[in-house]
Structure 1
Amino acid sequence: MGTSRMDINVRRASYRTVIIPPKEINETNNDIRLWEFTGEYTGSSNVLGLVVFSVVQGIAIAQMGEVGKPLQHFYTALGEAMMLITNWVIWVSPIGVFFLVTSKMLEAESFAVMVGQLGMYFMTVLVGLLGHGFVTLPLVYFLCVREIPIKFLINMGQAILTAFATGSSSATLSVSMGCLEEKNNIDPRVTRFVMPIGATINMDGTALYEAVAVIFISQVRHMSLSISQIFAISITSTMASIGAASIPQAGLVTMVMVLDTVGLPAEDVSLIFAVDWLLDRFRTSINVLGDALGAGIVAHLSKKELKKGLVAVSMN
């Protein structure tokens, strides 16, 4: 009739398959059939469920109107408190990062292998970001606007460089809006509506980076991922990037949730600290570029409505 504590813990944990290579691997002993396959339960919370619940609760609070104001103020104050704590952590993070990276270097069996793995991870993220920013996003712009965005991208050069230098979408907001309005002739009503929203929730570069980072960490830990786990990583990375603050290296904070989705410990984030400061600049640049192209698409699709608005204002 009773349920043991072990049974409860097993139900709360997630099951994963672990591949254990032979103790000695060389040219004559690299047969995959010699590797051991085993399984284990890992404790983890339902992060994807929490994200979905948070989204639903936010929609419900918005629908409640004045009745939901106290709960909205509570979450606003909680968010400001967490931002203040995050700023404190950022100030002391260089010391902590130094010791975390040092400990991982000491734990590594081969320093050369670790550097090679980080190099491949760096190149994978960089190729993905550049492909997304300069192939996928311009292609979407071309399909919507029917115009090759080469001139548009050149005019956004100052904003992209500012994003790369600061690592913050919010810090680049004024520059990117100026480039859109003065160089690309985007209506100020569009830029002032689209760009602040984009700087807050459009973190496509961060979502791509987090998904690749979690897969990389799982491979370093010799953990095989199923199709369902990869799908969960994709969804959680997208949702977590929406909630990420537009400050330098904020993606490391939300990545903890993505790691927990597949049962990886939060301290594994330290595996990518050594190259994250540079990748953060690239993904912020892609975020700003995505915001700008989005503003261009909205301006094109809203031409008639914007002209009607101008006519109505002139008549009044």
Structure 2
Amino acid sequence: MYIKFPGDIFLRMLKSLIIPLLTSSVISAIGALDLSLSKKIALRSIIFYATTTVCAVVLGIILVWTIKPGAGGPKDIKKEKHDPQKVVLTTDTLMDLGRNMFPPNLIEAAIGQGQISIKVPDQYKANPRFSNKTFNLKDYYPEWEFEEKLELRSTNVLGLVTFSVVLGVTIGKMGHRGQPLLTFFERLSEAMMIITGWVIWLSPVGVFFLVIAQIMDIPSFAALLGQLGLYFGTVLLGLFLHGFGTLSVIYFVCTRTLPFRTIAGLSQVLATAFGTASSSATMPITIQTLDNMGLDPRVTRFVIPVGATINMDGTALYEAVAAIFIAQRNGLDLGIGHAAAICITATAASIGAAGIPQAGLVTMVMVLDTVGLPADQISIILAVDWLLDRFRTTVNVMCDCLGAKLVDMLSATDLRKMGDPDKVNADTHELVEIVKGDV
């Protein structure tokens, strides 16, 4: 208990960043989208990013369910106490998901989320037929009670994300009238990124004590290493399949050309992304490289900054795999409803992830909190996170570049109608210097 104290303080700091970082990042990212450039270009970019992120999460969930890297863990892992008479239906879980996306009170959403519970009548508790997960509830409906409870100490992330997206779209629609509000959230987002950097700077100390505490509770260190190896391999396999499989298929379907020649031309960009583990730090080189490849500067200056902010395919895949891996280590069986919650939350969390190294730690805690998993076991995966962070950043940047190339090819006609590509707000070198200054 005492040796874990510094790690608990570190986790508390991470959790305290969830609400302000998530809301400010999502609102500022969506509110700042320049739809006046071309609604078709903006729409194509957003659809591409949303599609690839969802595909990444689904791929990660399928792989971790298939490989089961967390299965066969130590028998004495502390599990949450579950009511043996508690009845959980998939339909109720999905309905809870819908209810939590539209909270009746934003303050309430910050401290808890609703959950439907079914009270089993006393005369049926001893009936063995209710030990089965599937039964005909209709026959006993008049005697069963349904009630919605507010589960405290569990932030309703889905509700906050829904409200943030709606508010961001509204601010964007308001134009110059919404600029003061957008500026406020942009400055708040910048401040939260600075604080996040401070907390991450303290992560070696916090992670050290968390890992030590976890190791002391595990009887077999060799088993833990085996699980971590499978987890590491699952994430790498998912990133490889997504980068060279899913993205390539989407690119080929939309353009009828293979992306491998384009990927080969991005070697410097991908190497920089791997070395810095930061999408934002890689942005200047990304813009220059795509300009040299002949892409329209109006596309690169819209798609790349937006992608560096809201497109985090590798991060979303990693968070989905990590959440289910931790559940498997604890012997918890997550159903379809929980998988849907992880999919939505990981997608939204990837939008809120700052483009700085290891900022996904904060959003990882958010995903775990959504499905009720113990946040303290994040220390297990942090042992290999520093290396995985570089691989997933590389996939993020590659997706940004392929998205820019795809949008440029699909928007060729629209770009010609818009006029001379040299008539942009600033020339190439000036914009690159501006981006460098922001980084």
State TM-score, norm by structure 2: 0.60
Aligned to 2:279, which of 166, 169, 180? Answer: 169
Question: What is the one-letter code of the residue matched to 2:371?
Answer: V
Paired position in structure 1 for 2:355: 246
Q: Are 2:328 and 1:219 equivalent residues in the alignment?
A: yes
Paired position in structure 2 for 1:233: 342
Aligned to 1:259, which of 331, 356, 368? Answer: 368
Q: Deviations over 1:87-122 (max 9, x none)?
A: 211222222222222222222121011111111111
Alpha-carbon offset, residue 266 of structure 1? 2.4
Aligned to 1:270, which of 359, 379, 401? Answer: 379
Paired position in structure 1 for 2:156: 46
In structure 1, what is the Cα distance between the partners aligned to 2:265 and 2:405? 12
Paired position in structure 2 for 1:146: 256
Question: What is the one-letter code of the residue matched to 1:223?
Answer: L
In structure 1, what is the Cα distance between the partners aligned to 2:353 and 2:337? 24
Question: What is the one-letter code of the residue matched to 2:202?
Answer: V
Q: Are 2:388 and 1:282 equivalent residues in the alignment?
A: no
Alignment gaps of 5+ in structure 2: 1-72, 77-81, 87-116, 118-150, 424-439
Preserved CA contact (<8 Å) 2:308 2:400? yes
Q: Deviations over 1:146-204 (max 9, x none)?
A: 1111211100111111101100001111112222221x321222111111111111111
Aligned-pair identity in percent equals 57
Aligned to 1:93, which of 194, 203, 210? Answer: 203
In structure 2, what is the Cα distance between the partners aligned to 1:205 and 1:190? 23
Q: Are 2:284 and 1:209 equivalent residues in the alignment?
A: no
Question: What is the one-letter code of the residue matched to 1:305?
Answer: D
Structure with the larger RCO, 1 or 2 (CA within 8 Å, 6+ apart): 2
In structure 2, what is the Cα distance between the partners aligned to 1:290 and 1:80? 24
Paired position in structure 2 for 1:13: none
Question: What is the one-letter code of the residue matched to 1:162?
Answer: T
Question: What is the one-letter code of the residue matched to 2:372?
Answer: G
Question: What is the one-letter code of the residue matched to 2:162?
Answer: V
Q: Deviations over 1:235-294 (max 9, x none)?
A: 100011011100111111111111111111322221211010010001000000000000
Greater Cα offset, 233-242 or 173-182: 173-182
Name the CA shift for 1:269/1:299 in 2 (closer, same or farther; >3 Å). Answer: same
In structure 2, what is the Cα distance between the partners aligned to 1:216 and 1:91? 26
Alpha-carbon offset, residue 70 of structure 1? 4.5
The count of corresponding residues between Structure 1 and Structure 2 is: 284
Aligned to 2:192, which of 79, 82, 85? Answer: 82
Alpha-carbon offset, residue 23 of structure 1? 6.4
Alpha-carbon offset, residue 68 of structure 1? 4.1
Preserved CA contact (<8 Å) 2:74 2:220? no
In structure 2, what is the Cα distance between the partners aligned to 1:191 and 1:145? 18
Greater Cα offset, 269-278 or 61-70: 61-70
Aligned to 2:219, which of 102, 106, 109? Answer: 109
Name the CA shift for 1:151/1:102 in 2 (closer, same or farther; >3 Å). Answer: same
Name the CA shift for 1:67/1:185 in 2 (closer, same or farther; >3 Å). Answer: closer
Q: Deviations over 1:23-54 (max 9, x none)?
A: 69xxxxxxxxxxx9947797523221221122
Question: What is the one-letter code of the residue matched to 2:216?
Answer: L
Alpha-carbon offset, residue 66 of structure 1? 5.3
Preserved CA contact (<8 Å) 2:251 2:402? yes
Name the CA shift for 1:65/1:22 in 2 (closer, same or farther; >3 Å). Answer: closer
In structure 2, what is the Cα distance between the partners aligned to 1:138 and 1:267? 37
Name the CA shift for 1:193/1:72 in 2 (closer, same or farther; >3 Å). Answer: closer
Q: Are 2:241 and 1:131 equivalent residues in the alignment?
A: yes
